[in-house]
Protein backbone atom coordinates (compact mmCIF):
# COMPACT_ATOMS: atom_id res chain seq x y z
CA UNK A 1 0.00 0.00 0.00
CA UNK A 2 2.76 2.46 0.90
CA UNK A 3 4.58 1.73 -2.37
CA UNK A 4 1.34 2.47 -4.25
CA UNK A 5 1.03 5.73 -2.31
CA UNK A 6 4.59 6.68 -3.28
CA UNK A 7 3.96 5.93 -6.96
CA UNK A 8 0.66 7.83 -7.05
CA UNK A 9 2.18 10.79 -5.24
CA UNK A 10 4.97 10.97 -7.82
CA UNK A 11 2.48 10.76 -10.69
CA UNK A 12 0.25 13.42 -9.10
CA UNK A 13 3.23 15.77 -8.65
CA UNK A 14 4.68 15.05 -12.10
CA UNK A 15 1.35 15.92 -13.72
CA UNK A 16 1.56 19.31 -11.92
CA UNK A 17 -2.06 18.99 -10.85
CA UNK A 18 -1.34 21.24 -7.87
CA UNK A 19 -0.26 24.00 -10.25
CA UNK A 20 -3.63 24.14 -12.00
CA UNK A 21 -5.56 27.37 -11.57
CA UNK A 22 -7.38 27.44 -8.23
CA UNK A 23 -6.61 23.76 -7.57
CA UNK A 24 -5.54 24.46 -4.01
CA UNK A 25 -8.70 26.44 -3.34
CA UNK A 26 -10.91 23.72 -4.81
CA UNK A 27 -9.05 21.13 -2.73
CA UNK A 28 -9.64 23.19 0.40
CA UNK A 29 -13.35 23.54 -0.40
CA UNK A 30 -13.69 19.80 -0.92
CA UNK A 31 -11.78 19.02 2.27
CA UNK A 32 -13.94 21.52 4.20
CA UNK A 33 -17.08 19.87 2.85
CA UNK A 34 -15.93 16.40 3.93
CA UNK A 35 -14.59 17.61 7.30
CA UNK A 36 -17.77 19.48 8.25
CA UNK A 37 -20.00 16.70 6.88
CA UNK A 38 -18.26 14.26 9.22
CA UNK A 39 -19.42 16.54 12.05
CA UNK A 40 -23.03 16.54 10.82
CA UNK A 41 -23.12 19.63 8.59
CA UNK A 42 -26.12 19.59 6.23
CA UNK A 43 -24.50 21.54 3.37
CA UNK A 44 -23.69 19.68 0.15
CA UNK A 45 -20.34 20.09 -1.60
CA UNK A 46 -22.00 22.48 -4.06
CA UNK A 47 -23.55 24.45 -1.18
CA UNK A 48 -20.11 24.67 0.41
CA UNK A 49 -18.49 25.91 -2.80
CA UNK A 50 -21.17 28.54 -3.44
CA UNK A 51 -21.00 29.77 0.16
CA UNK A 52 -17.22 30.14 0.14
CA UNK A 53 -16.92 31.61 -3.36
CA UNK A 54 -20.08 33.74 -3.56
CA UNK A 55 -21.16 34.14 0.06
CA UNK A 56 -24.60 32.74 -0.85
CA UNK A 57 -26.46 30.55 1.63
CA UNK A 58 -28.34 27.33 0.87
CA UNK A 59 -32.09 27.81 1.33
CA UNK A 60 -33.66 25.91 4.21
CA UNK A 61 -30.38 24.75 5.76
CA UNK A 62 -29.28 25.75 9.29
CA UNK A 63 -27.41 29.00 9.85
CA UNK A 64 -25.04 27.20 12.23
CA UNK A 65 -23.93 24.90 9.41
CA UNK A 66 -23.12 27.87 7.18
CA UNK A 67 -21.13 29.49 9.99
CA UNK A 68 -19.28 26.21 10.57
CA UNK A 69 -18.19 26.12 6.93
CA UNK A 70 -17.15 29.79 6.84
CA UNK A 71 -15.12 29.39 10.02
CA UNK A 72 -13.47 26.27 8.68
CA UNK A 73 -12.40 28.11 5.54
CA UNK A 74 -10.94 31.01 7.54
CA UNK A 75 -9.10 28.45 9.67
CA UNK A 76 -7.62 26.91 6.53
CA UNK A 77 -6.37 30.29 5.33
CA UNK A 78 -4.84 30.85 8.77
CA UNK A 79 -2.88 27.59 8.78
CA UNK A 80 -1.77 28.22 5.20
CA UNK A 81 -0.21 31.53 6.26
CA UNK A 82 1.21 29.96 9.42
CA UNK A 83 2.88 27.27 7.29
CA UNK A 84 4.49 29.96 5.12
CA UNK A 85 5.82 31.53 8.31
CA UNK A 86 6.93 28.05 9.51
CA UNK A 87 5.32 28.53 12.91
CA UNK A 88 6.32 25.91 15.42
CA UNK A 89 3.64 23.63 16.76
CA UNK A 90 2.74 24.65 20.31
CA UNK A 91 -0.29 24.95 22.57
CA UNK A 92 -0.81 28.63 21.74
CA UNK A 93 -0.93 27.92 18.02
CA UNK A 94 -3.38 25.04 18.50
CA UNK A 95 -5.65 27.29 20.58
CA UNK A 96 -5.63 29.88 17.80
CA UNK A 97 -6.69 27.26 15.26
CA UNK A 98 -9.52 25.96 17.45
CA UNK A 99 -10.71 29.50 18.23
CA UNK A 100 -11.09 30.16 14.50
CA UNK A 101 -12.86 26.82 13.97
CA UNK A 102 -15.39 27.74 16.68
CA UNK A 103 -15.45 31.52 16.16
CA UNK A 104 -19.14 31.87 15.27
CA UNK A 105 -20.58 28.63 16.65
CA UNK A 106 -18.91 28.47 20.05
CA UNK A 107 -19.69 30.26 23.29
CA UNK A 108 -19.49 30.25 27.07
CA UNK A 109 -19.71 26.88 28.82
CA UNK A 110 -20.50 27.06 32.53
CA UNK A 111 -19.13 24.40 34.87
CA UNK A 112 -18.89 24.05 38.64
CA UNK A 113 -15.18 24.81 38.29
CA UNK A 114 -15.68 27.96 36.26
CA UNK A 115 -16.53 29.06 32.76
CA UNK A 116 -14.67 28.55 29.51
CA UNK A 117 -15.34 29.90 26.04
CA UNK A 118 -15.29 27.48 23.10
CA UNK A 119 -15.17 30.42 20.68
CA UNK A 120 -11.86 31.61 22.18
CA UNK A 121 -9.88 28.37 22.08
CA UNK A 122 -10.13 27.84 25.84
CA UNK A 123 -9.14 24.38 27.06
CA UNK A 124 -12.09 22.44 28.45
CA UNK A 125 -12.92 22.44 32.15
CA UNK A 126 -15.11 19.36 32.09
CA UNK A 127 -14.95 15.64 31.42
CA UNK A 128 -15.90 14.61 27.89
CA UNK A 129 -16.75 11.30 26.30
CA UNK A 130 -18.00 10.05 22.94
CA UNK A 131 -20.06 6.89 23.05
CA UNK A 132 -18.29 4.64 25.56
CA UNK A 133 -14.94 6.39 25.22
CA UNK A 134 -13.79 8.77 27.96
CA UNK A 135 -11.05 11.26 27.22
CA UNK A 136 -8.33 12.35 29.70
CA UNK A 137 -9.23 14.33 32.81
CA UNK A 138 -9.35 18.04 31.94
CA UNK A 139 -6.67 18.78 34.55
CA UNK A 140 -4.20 16.74 32.45
CA UNK A 141 -5.02 18.36 29.12
CA UNK A 142 -2.48 21.20 29.21
CA UNK A 143 0.41 18.90 30.08
CA UNK A 144 -0.65 16.32 27.49
CA UNK A 145 -0.79 18.99 24.77
CA UNK A 146 2.69 20.22 25.62
CA UNK A 147 4.02 16.66 25.56
CA UNK A 148 2.33 16.01 22.20
CA UNK A 149 3.81 19.17 20.67
CA UNK A 150 7.28 18.23 21.91
CA UNK A 151 6.96 14.74 20.41
CA UNK A 152 5.75 15.98 17.02
CA UNK A 153 8.37 18.75 16.87
CA UNK A 154 11.07 16.18 17.61
CA UNK A 155 9.64 13.94 14.91
CA UNK A 156 9.71 16.84 12.44
CA UNK A 157 13.26 17.72 13.46
CA UNK A 158 14.45 14.17 12.77
CA UNK A 159 13.00 14.13 9.26
CA UNK A 160 13.64 17.78 8.36
CA UNK A 161 16.42 17.13 5.81
CA UNK A 162 15.50 13.73 4.42
CA UNK A 163 11.74 13.56 4.75
CA UNK A 164 9.86 11.49 2.19
CA UNK A 165 6.20 12.00 1.43
CA UNK A 166 5.46 8.90 3.51
CA UNK A 167 7.41 10.22 6.52
CA UNK A 168 5.49 13.49 6.46
CA UNK A 169 2.14 11.74 6.05
CA UNK A 170 2.94 9.53 9.05
CA UNK A 171 3.87 12.55 11.17
CA UNK A 172 0.62 14.28 10.16
CA UNK A 173 -1.33 11.11 11.03
CA UNK A 174 0.41 10.83 14.40
CA UNK A 175 -0.44 14.44 15.26
CA UNK A 176 -4.09 13.84 14.41
CA UNK A 177 -4.18 10.62 16.45
CA UNK A 178 -2.57 12.07 19.58
CA UNK A 179 -4.61 15.28 19.44
CA UNK A 180 -7.98 13.57 19.07
CA UNK A 181 -7.19 11.26 21.98
CA UNK A 182 -6.48 14.27 24.19
CA UNK A 183 -9.66 16.02 23.01
CA UNK A 184 -8.52 19.29 24.60
CA UNK A 185 -11.45 21.52 23.67
CA UNK A 186 -15.13 21.63 24.48
CA UNK A 187 -16.00 21.44 20.77
CA UNK A 188 -14.38 21.43 17.33
CA UNK A 189 -11.78 18.77 18.15
CA UNK A 190 -12.40 16.74 14.99
CA UNK A 191 -12.15 19.69 12.63
CA UNK A 192 -9.10 21.02 14.48
CA UNK A 193 -7.35 17.64 14.32
CA UNK A 194 -7.82 17.44 10.56
CA UNK A 195 -6.60 21.01 10.10
CA UNK A 196 -3.48 20.29 12.15
CA UNK A 197 -2.85 17.20 10.05
CA UNK A 198 -2.91 19.38 6.92
CA UNK A 199 -0.74 21.98 8.62
CA UNK A 200 2.06 19.40 8.64
CA UNK A 201 1.43 18.75 4.93
CA UNK A 202 1.57 22.47 4.20
CA UNK A 203 4.82 22.91 6.10
CA UNK A 204 6.43 20.53 3.60
CA UNK A 205 4.45 21.67 0.55
CA UNK A 206 2.84 18.24 0.38
CA UNK A 207 -0.61 17.56 -1.14
CA UNK A 208 -3.42 18.03 1.36
CA UNK A 209 -5.11 15.11 3.11
CA UNK A 210 -8.82 14.52 2.73
CA UNK A 211 -10.76 12.25 5.09
CA UNK A 212 -13.76 11.21 3.01
CA UNK A 213 -17.12 11.53 4.73
CA UNK A 214 -18.32 8.22 3.28
CA UNK A 215 -15.45 6.55 5.18
CA UNK A 216 -16.44 8.07 8.52
CA UNK A 217 -17.13 4.69 10.19
CA UNK A 218 -13.78 3.26 9.06
CA UNK A 219 -12.09 6.47 10.23
CA UNK A 220 -13.50 6.14 13.75
CA UNK A 221 -12.75 2.40 13.78
CA UNK A 222 -9.12 3.04 12.82
CA UNK A 223 -8.69 5.59 15.61
CA UNK A 224 -10.25 3.23 18.16
CA UNK A 225 -8.36 0.16 17.02
CA UNK A 226 -5.03 2.03 17.03
CA UNK A 227 -5.68 3.02 20.63
CA UNK A 228 -6.88 -0.41 21.75
CA UNK A 229 -3.85 -2.17 20.23
CA UNK A 230 -1.43 0.71 20.98
CA UNK A 231 -0.37 0.55 17.34
CA UNK A 232 -0.08 3.87 15.49
CA UNK A 233 0.46 2.07 12.18
CA UNK A 234 -3.25 1.18 12.11
CA UNK A 235 -4.27 4.82 11.83
CA UNK A 236 -1.29 5.64 9.60
CA UNK A 237 -2.45 2.94 7.19
CA UNK A 238 -5.98 4.35 7.20
CA UNK A 239 -4.70 7.83 6.30
CA UNK A 240 -2.46 6.26 3.65
CA UNK A 241 -5.56 4.64 2.13
CA UNK A 242 -7.42 7.96 2.14
CA UNK A 243 -4.52 9.67 0.38
CA UNK A 244 -4.39 6.92 -2.23
CA UNK A 245 -8.11 7.44 -2.82
CA UNK A 246 -7.52 11.19 -3.19
CA UNK A 247 -4.64 10.78 -5.66
CA UNK A 248 -6.54 8.25 -7.77
CA UNK A 249 -9.59 10.53 -7.99
CA UNK A 250 -7.52 13.62 -8.87
CA UNK A 251 -5.39 11.80 -11.46
CA UNK A 252 -8.48 10.27 -13.09
CA UNK A 253 -10.16 13.70 -13.20
CA UNK A 254 -7.03 15.26 -14.73
CA UNK A 255 -6.64 12.56 -17.37
CA UNK A 256 -10.30 12.82 -18.40
CA UNK A 257 -9.97 16.59 -18.80
CA UNK A 258 -6.82 16.23 -20.90
CA UNK A 259 -7.81 13.32 -23.12
CA UNK A 260 -8.72 14.52 -26.66
CA UNK A 261 -12.33 13.85 -27.61
CA UNK A 262 -12.92 11.40 -30.47
CA UNK A 263 -16.12 13.20 -31.45
Give the three-class secondary structure for 117: strand
Domain locations in the chain?
2-254
The predicted pLDDT at position 233 comes to 97
Nearest-angstrom CA–CA distance, 139 and 135 = 11
What digits encode the pLDDT tens for the residues 195-206?
A: 999 999 999 999
pLDDT tens profile 52-82: 999 999 999 999 999 999 999 999 999 999 9
On the question of pLDDT at 262 being above 50, the answer is no
- Given the candidates 1.10.357.10, 3.30.750.24, 1.10.3290.10, 3.90.320.10, the CATH classification of the domain at 2-254 is 1.10.3290.10
Beta bridge partners of 130: 133
Q: Tell me if 155 sits within 8 A of 176, measured CB to CB.
A: no
How far, in Å, CA of 6 to CA of 183, rounded?
31
Return the SS3 of 79: helix
pTM of the model: 0.94
Tens digits of per-residue pLDDT, 137-146? 999 999 999 9
| HSE-CB for 88 with a 13 A CA cutoff | 11
Give the pLDDT score at 61: 97
pLDDT confidence band for 23 (50 / 70 / 90):
confident
Amino acid sequence: MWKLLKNLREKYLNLHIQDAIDHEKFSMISIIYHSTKIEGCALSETDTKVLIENNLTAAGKPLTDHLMVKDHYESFLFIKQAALEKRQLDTGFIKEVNALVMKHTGGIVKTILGNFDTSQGDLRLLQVYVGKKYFPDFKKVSGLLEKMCDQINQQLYKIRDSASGNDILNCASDLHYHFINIHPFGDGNGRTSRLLMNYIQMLYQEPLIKIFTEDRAAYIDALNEAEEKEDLSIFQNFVCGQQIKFYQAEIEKYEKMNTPSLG
